[in-house]
Amino acid sequence: MDELTWVYGTACLIVGTFVVQVMRRKFDPFAPVWLFFVGYTQIYVVQALSYHDWAVRVRGVELVTQANGRAFWALALFLGVYFFGPGRSIARFLPKPPTRWSTPPVLMWSPVLVVWGLFCALLVIRQSQAGEAASAEEALLLSFPMVMLVAGALLIVTGRQPSKPQPAITAAGITVVVLYLLIWMFNGKRSHSLVSVLVGVSAYYIPRLKRPSFPVLVATAMAGMLAVGLSIGWRVYASHTNSYGSISKFADFITTFDPESILESINLKEKEERPGQVVTYETEEYGGFLLMMDTVPTKSEYDHGLNYLRVFSTFIPRIVWLDKPVYGRDQWIAAWIAGSEMKRAENFTGPAIGILGATQLNGGATATAIVLTIIGVLLSTTYQYFRLHADVVWVQVCWPLWYYNAWFMTVNDDPCNWFYYNFGFTTLPNLAIFWLLNKQGGGERS
């Protein structure tokens, strides 16, 4: 079978799922499966087509065919578990959320989170200007910017309650989210910028138990792509011109921004070759996936899921556990060094390998089937829990701050990276605080 047939098959699965859901009137833009599809499409359809010639030349037709075939059956397995698995049944057995919601704690705690997030942003700006590695203490502080977005979601959802609308609180929340978007575009971070768009839109609609119209969804998608394009473009421009931290140059960049460059940001346009530069796509997610398929286990060992220990170790700060290992990192680096087109140092860091590259490193096809099954159950269960308690304010706050992680699961170098990169020690504790506060009986019934 032609290696591209599998890519077209993957695309058909994604498009077919969308069409069926729309025709059955079950399409919900806030279901996590769609953001999972966004990441999956970018890597295993768009990148697979855009980088096809390079992939065949560097890795060979046989391996490319095998990789594309795995992307197809892995998605089919995920969809089967997501739509027909035990998610709905499990959701019914989970603890019920607090049915009360108190506004005063939101108004008291949100400013703290905003200031905390602004402080983290300032540290990032100073770090970029200095160009120096962060200390252990600085690295810990740099990990908390998203608490500002938590504040935005708290304020928007609280202000949008139909039983007690509070436009001033809603406006404050929207202001926080927009400010967060601008700050993190300025810092050149595509993930933070895209997530702010998703959180803002979902937090605005969910409290009224409504969904955006298709024109609004299209506008949201365009805003998200623009945020990603501006963030990546500014980061590249600032690094070449030493413009980090310059608001005036950032403003100039925005006014002269070429929208066509967005195509390169979403991998629909090839990179421009510069004299003396070797063009490689192995540092893109699809390229990293091929590298792992080519390297593990023939040239480098599996990590056997060692990386998932970070779900627990992440709660122990490095300033407390000075020699805390980054579980699975050694195997990740070893695989890159063994299979890279270029010479890589042992401190090599940076590129993501996507969900299937990570599961290949975990244990090949078997690990891929296990991890995709678990993720299918996880996303389905959380979504069904959201639907069961859609009128509960705590759930309405939680969902905008959680569901976007379905995108993170597909595009990072680890399916759980979203948890120990940010969510586990920033968003989750805040959600737990508001669960406990409202579970104790304070506030009005939602």
- Judge residue 342's burial from the number of C-beta atoms within 10 Å of its C-beta, 0-12 exposed, 13-18 middle, 19 or more buried: exposed
Integer CA distances (angstroms), 304 to 252, 296, 366, in order: 48, 11, 11
Run of H or E including 216: helix 214-241
Q: Residue 229 has what pLDDT?
A: 84
Cα–Cα distance measured from residue 154 to residue 236, given in angstroms and rounded to the nearest whole number = 33
Contact (Cβ atoms closer than 8 angstroms) between residue 415 and residue 371: yes
Q: Is the dihedral of CA 197, 202, 205, 208 positive or negative?
A: negative
Residue that the structure tokens 């095998």 belong to: 66
Higher pLDDT, 324 or 76: 76
Distance of alpha carbon 168 from alpha carbon 154, whole angstroms: 13
Q: What local confidence, expressed as pLDDT, does residue 278 receive?
A: 61
Name the β-bridge partners of 444.
101
β-bridge pairing 100-101 and 444-445 = antiparallel
Check residue 45 and give its pLDDT. 97
pTM beyond 0.85, yes or no: yes
What is the distance between the alpha carbons of residues 170 and 396, in angstroms, rounded to a whole number? 14
- Per-residue confidence (pLDDT) for residue 104, from 0 to 100: 95
The owner of tokens 């990276």 is 417
- pLDDT above 90: percentage of residues in the chain: 64
pLDDT in tens, 431-444: 999 999 998 765 66
Q: Are 291 and 352 in contact (CB under 8 A)?
A: no
Mean pLDDT of 227-254: 80
> For residues 173 and 237, what is the distance between their CA atoms, to the nearest angstrom?
31
Q: What percent of the chain shows pLDDT beyond 70? A: 90
CB within 8 Å of 54: residues ≥ 6 apart: 279, 280, 281, 287
Q: Give the pLDDT band of residue 134 (cuts 50, 70, 90).
A: low
What is the pLDDT, as a whole number, of residue 444?
Answer: 64
Q: State which amino acid sits at residue 258.
A: D
Say how many C-beta atoms besides its own lie within 10 A of residue 311's C-beta. 13
Lowest mean pLDDT among 22-31, 223-232, 407-416: 223-232
pLDDT band at 107 (very low <50, low <70, confident <90, very high): very high
- For the chain, the structural domain boundaries read 3-93+272-367, 100-264+395-404+422-445
What's the pLDDT score for residue 394? 97
Task: Check residues 361 and 226 and name the one with the higher pLDDT.
Answer: 361
Q: How far apart are CA 51 and CA 46, in angstroms?
A: 8
Distance, CA of 397 to CA of 282 (rounded, Å): 38
So what's the pLDDT on residue 29? 96
The yes-or-no verdict on residue 350 having pLDDT over 80 is no
DSSP labels for 371-420?
HHHHHHHHHHHHHHHHHHTTT-HHHHHHGGGTTTHHHHHHHSSSTTHHHH
End-to-end CA distance of the chain: give it in Å, rounded.
Answer: 56
- pLDDT at position 267: 61
pLDDT tens digit sequence for 156-182: 999 999 999 999 999 999 999 999 999
Q: φ and ψ at 156, to 5 degrees?
A: -65, -50
Structure tokens at 124: 């990032």
Question: How far out from the chain centre does Cα 213 lie?
Answer: 24
Least confident of 125-134, 216-225, 334-343, 399-408: 125-134
Q: Give the separation between CA 292 and CA 271, rounded to whole angstroms.
A: 23
Nearest to 153 by CA among 436, 418, 404, 424: 404
Region of poorest pLDDT, from 9-13, 238-242, 294-298, 308-312: 238-242
For tokens 């627990």, name the residue.
312
pLDDT at 263: 63
Tens of pLDDT along 273-293?
555 556 788 889 999 999 999
Residue with tokens 């905390």: 116
Point out the least confidently predicted range of 8-12, 81-85, 134-138, 155-159.
Answer: 134-138
